Every structure is written in C-alpha cells, then in structure tokens.
Amino acid sequence: MTERRITFTREQIAEYAEVSGDHNPIHLDDEFARSVGLPGLIAHGMLQMGLLATVAAEAAGGPGRLRRLSVRFAGMVVPGDTVTFRAEPAGDRRLELSALNQKGEAVLTKAMAEYEK
Amino acid sequence: MAAVAGRTYPAVQFEIDADRVAAFAKAIGADPADGVPPTFAAVYSLGVTVPHLFADEEAAVDFARLLHAEQEFEWERHPRAGETVTSRGRVASDSSRRGMRFVSFEADTSDSNGAPVCRSRTLFVIRS
C-alpha cells in the first residue's frame, strides 16, 4: 500500500491555479465562492486527482506506467482539511485508489488506475 | 438550455513547456525529474478544449452552477516536455434529469505525427 497525507492550504490551491491555468474564482476568492453557495474557497478537483495520481504513479513503479486513471469528485476539500491519498494493488495491473478526509469521508470515489509493467 | 450532443470543437495545439511541467509537478507533490506528470493532461487536453464548450453560447453552460463530477484519462503514452500536441474536444452526450443537466465532454490528444496520446472523459453536472 502506498499512502500520502496532505493538509491543504490556500497557498497550495493558489499555486495549483497558477500552474494549471484554472483561475476559477471558487478556488481563489472566499467571497465569490460563498456567493455561489459554497462554504468558502475550495480546492480544485484536479488538484486532488493530481495528488492521487502521484501516489498511484509511485505504486505503479513510475508515472510513465499509468495507462488509465479515473475518479468521481464526491466531496469538497477546503483549506485545513487533511486528506489521505492511498493506492492498493487490486489484481493484474490495477490499483484501487482512495482519498479520505480527516472525518473519514471519501472526497474521491470510484477511483482506480491501470498500469503497464 | 440547449442539448448539444455530438458537437465538436476546433483542434488546439499546445507546446509542452519544460518549466511549466516542473512547476506543475511540484504543485502535486511529484518529482520534476520524472517527466510530464500524467494529470498534466488537465493542461494540455482539458485546459485547451473545455474553454470552447464554456464559450459556446448554444451550449449555454452556466459556469457558476457547474460541477466537475467525474474525470478519466486514458494514455497511449505520456508526452515529453518540448513536444507540441493537438487536442480536439466534443460533446459526447448532453441530457437532463431531475433538474440536473449532465454533459459528457471528451477530448482526444495526438502528437505531431497524428498518433494518439491521451483520451479525456469528463462529466460535468450543471445544477438548475
């Protein structure tokens, strides 16, 4: 099993906005996020998926081996949340992936990877 | 709202810049020495194709009510820094039920020889 525990910060979410080019204000501006019914700014789903992919790549023996990666964005992640990203072998060239917050809630579901040897 | 299933958008070229790849790798806790991170597809595929959908007035996607619900990437191979790749987006399906609209958006990325690199499948849910 491969695992990483990450506590999300505003700085990290802002950095992901910068490097990914996704400047949607729901990830950058608390006031805007609240105006569209969110509790405040939230992390990009693709940041969560990226962190999960890093763990999956480690479990697969390198990022170049990943052939498929899929997730459902099931829960919001806000600054201060601690998420445990995990990859476990699930048969031939498959990994079962999970991302649980500090309350034990899955923020990503239906998460899996396939890789080549 | 209009159902726009089957709609295709123009191809977009993207040059994979080594410095940007390194900064992206760092942001997701990956080692920049390991090459282009798999989910850099968020930039070279989604990042260049999804804006066409959002700018499509007939598709009428309300950005403020949009949720990125599911994402899948499938790679033939991972691109290298310095390569130029081309991505084309399309609306695979567009349906509404119980007050929610479900738009399935796909994008295919190929290399400069036309060989496939990555296929992206995205499910957007738009609350009404």
List chain B residues with CB under 8 Å of A72. 69-70
Please check the confidence at residue B2 and state whether its pLDDT lies above 70: no
A24/B38 Cβ within 8 A: no
Please check the confidence at residue B1 and state whether its pLDDT lies above 70: no
B63/A53 Cβ within 8 A: no
Query: Mean pLDDT, chain A, as a whole number?
Result: 97
Average pLDDT over residues A13-32: 96
d(CA B46, CA B106): 9
Average pLDDT over residues B27-40: 97
CA-based nearest residue to A78, from A5, A9, A4: A9
Band the pLDDT of B128: cuts 50, 70, 90.
confident
A46/B71 Cβ within 8 A: yes
- Residue among B20, B27, B37 whose CB faces A15 most closely: B27
Q: pLDDT per residue over B86-123, tens digit each?
A: 999 999 999 999 989 999 999 999 999 999 999 999 99
Do A65 and A116 touch, CB atoms closer than 8 A?
yes
Domain that holds residue A72: 2-115
CATH number, position A37: 3.10.129.10
d(CA A15, CA A30): 16
Domain extents in chain B: 12-127
Average pLDDT over residues B41-48: 97
Q: pLDDT per residue over A101-110, tens digit each?
A: 999 999 999 9
A70/B72 Cβ within 8 A: yes
> How much of chain A exceeds pLDDT 90, in percent?
97
Kindly state whether B30 is in contact with chain A, defined as any CB-CB distance less than 8 angstroms.
yes
Average pLDDT over residues B2-6: 87
As a CATH number, domain B12-127 is 3.10.129.10
**Distance linking the first and last C-alpha atoms of chain B:** 10
**Closest Cα in chain B, distance from residue A88 (Å):** 18
Q: Give the pLDDT confidence score for residue B34 in this predicted structure.
A: 96
User: What was the ipTM of the complex prediction?
Assistant: 0.96
B 68-127 → A contacts, CB under 8 A: 68-75, 78, 121
d(CA B28, CA B40): 10
Q: Give the pLDDT confidence score for residue B84 in this predicted structure.
A: 98
B43/A110 Cβ within 8 A: no
Average pLDDT over residues A46-58: 98
Please check the confidence at residue B127 and state whether its pLDDT lies above 90: no
CA atoms within 13 A on the CB side of A71: 24
Please check the confidence at residue A50 and state whether its pLDDT lies above 70: yes
Band the pLDDT of A95: cuts 50, 70, 90.
very high
More confident residue, B1 or B32: B32
Average pLDDT over residues A39-44: 96
Band the pLDDT of B39: cuts 50, 70, 90.
very high
> How much of chain A exceeds pLDDT 70, in percent?
100
B47/A22 Cβ within 8 A: yes
What residues pair up with A66 in beta bridges, in sequence order?
A115
Q: Give the pLDDT confidence score for residue A117 in this predicted structure.
A: 87
Number of domains in chain A: 1
d(CA A1, CA B92): 36
